[in-house]
Amino acid sequence: MGKEKHPAQYTVKNRTLYVALQEDLDQHNVDRIRQRLDALIDECGSNEIIFDFSKVNFMDSSGIGMIMGRYRRMMLLNGTVRAVGIHPGIERIIKYSGLYQILGNV
């Protein structure tokens, strides 16, 4: 069997963790993203996360929960969470879920 593609690409620069989401944020993908993000936050001492939503067309409650959990981690570190590349459908989910208030640059 071939190696399964990871649902996000990660880049760290100057303690900023850039997360280019490659797939929709559903339960299957969120668990893998959460594990990798938490490890990178610990390894790199990141104080900012930037989520790039440009390839995301769907997000369920597990995606909302994952982002809220990373936001709480960043708040404990006096950090920030931002989002870029948001499509109108995802923007609606972000707005109605309350994520709009915690994400900068939406």
What domains appear along the chain, each with residue ranges and CATH number? 8-101 (3.30.750.24)
Separation between Cα atoms, residue 19 and residue 10, nearest integer Å: 5
Is the model more confident about 105 or about 87? 87
Quote the percentage of the chain above a pLDDT of 70. Answer: 93
pLDDT of residue 1: 47
Confidence of residue 3 (pLDDT cuts 50, 70, 90): low
Lowest-confidence region among 30-39, 47-56, 91-100: 91-100
Q: What average pLDDT does the segment 48-57 reach?
A: 95
Separation between Cα atoms, residue 10 and residue 45, nearest integer Å: 14
Which residues have CB under 8 Å from 23's CB, separation 6+? 7, 8, 29, 55, 56
